[in-house]
Amino acid sequence: MPRPTVHRAPFGSVQGTRTDLWTLDSGTGVRAGVLTYGASLHRLTVPDATGAGASVVRSLATLDDYTGKHPYFGAVVGRYANRIAHGRFVLDGTEHHIPANDRGHALHGGPDGFHTKVWQASPDRTDDSVSLRLTLHSPDGDMGFPGALDATVTYTLDESGTLAVDYASVTDRPTVVNLTNHAYFDLAGHDDVLGHTLQVDADSYLPVDDDGIPLGPPAEVGGTPFDLTAPQVLGERLGTENAQLRAAGGFDHCWVLRDSGGGLRRAARLTAPDAARVMEVWTTEPGIQVYTANQLDGSFTDGTGRRHGRHGSLCLETQHLPDSPNRPDLPSTVLRPGDTARSRTELRFPHLGS
């Protein structure tokens, strides 16, 4: 069996800083392409049940496309993924303000969040896996967040084809942190993912207002289109008449996962219409944001000229819950000096037989 390998190729420069595309190759058909710009998952090639390989994530064509305004294709977003209401929160009696970049609220760390940064990369290899460790220093006051933060994101691809993403952050002052990856998944390469089947292992979710801010405590999914405890065809769920779906244009909601005591457990299972590819998301995080690309309008294309349209893909963003800094009833995202904020997410492909 071929050993896993890793190699680097230039991907252009931004403001005089070189960026690279690193390719992690399992040696068994699964390959992950990671950009140092935004620590972005640019490509994830996965064989189907017949052995035919294709990328299961949507991407952009060039560095210029990534450095322009785009909806976070494949990027690691932070310092705080998802929304902070009105771009402000109080920590230890001090109010902090984050630039509002989404309908009067702070989204994914603000306009110049981690998705706009060039991360430092170092590869590693063992007999059965390859990894890429990416690091970023976020200074005190970056996008209004208190404390200097050192973030590390490590992508590891093993010979079974599992891609793991490990997050670790430390700070020199109390702050809040919530990192995730914003990959857009499409297991079949069709014009939309409405024929995909999705299962989410959660009994409750957070209803939101028209701006995407949680309205109150988690609500039970039973009897609603948000009940994905058994596999459901996405198009059928999104076609249901429901005020939450109508306001968002589809799913753009956070499911509250069943408590695992901080351990790794399955959060979601996505299946292509022909079942030729299956992806499971496993995580230590308490929530998963499902976003069905409701705002994409075909204005973004990949390297083949293929347009990214509405409901053409979906994001499965493992994370803490939105607006947690303003919600003491939700799991805390506060990080203090001497502690490390850690989480792990794995993408597994059971149709490969591993």
Residue ranges at the known binding site for beta-D-galactose: 82-83, 182-184, 252
Q: What stretches of 36-115 adopt beta strand conformation (E)?
A: 41-47, 53-55, 76-77, 83-84, 88-91, 94-97, 106-107
What are φ and ψ of residue 31, in 5° steps?
-135, 135
> Per this entry, what is the length of the chain?
354
276's CB contacts (< 8 A; 6+ apart) are 48, 49, 50, 187, 188, 351
For residue 288, the cross-strand partners are 255, 318
The CA distance from 225 to 237, in Å, is: 6
Report, as residue numbers or ranges, the catalytic residues: 182, 317
Residue 283: name the closest of 135, 197, 162 by CA: 162
Amino acid identity of 150?
D
DSSP-derived 3-state class of residue 237: helix
Say if residue 133 is exposed, middle or buried (CB neighbours under 10 Å; 0-12, 13-18, 19+): middle
- Ordered DSSP codes for 2-18: PPPEEEEEEEEEETTEE
The CA distance from 130 to 158, in Å, is: 6
8 Å CB contact between 88 and 95: yes
248: left (phi over 0), alpha (psi -120 to 50) or beta: alpha
Task: Record the tokens describing residue 117, joined without a space.
Answer: 């940064």
Residue 78: name the closest of 10, 22, 150, 13 by CA: 150
Would you tell me how many other CB atoms lie within 10 Å of the CB of residue 135? 15
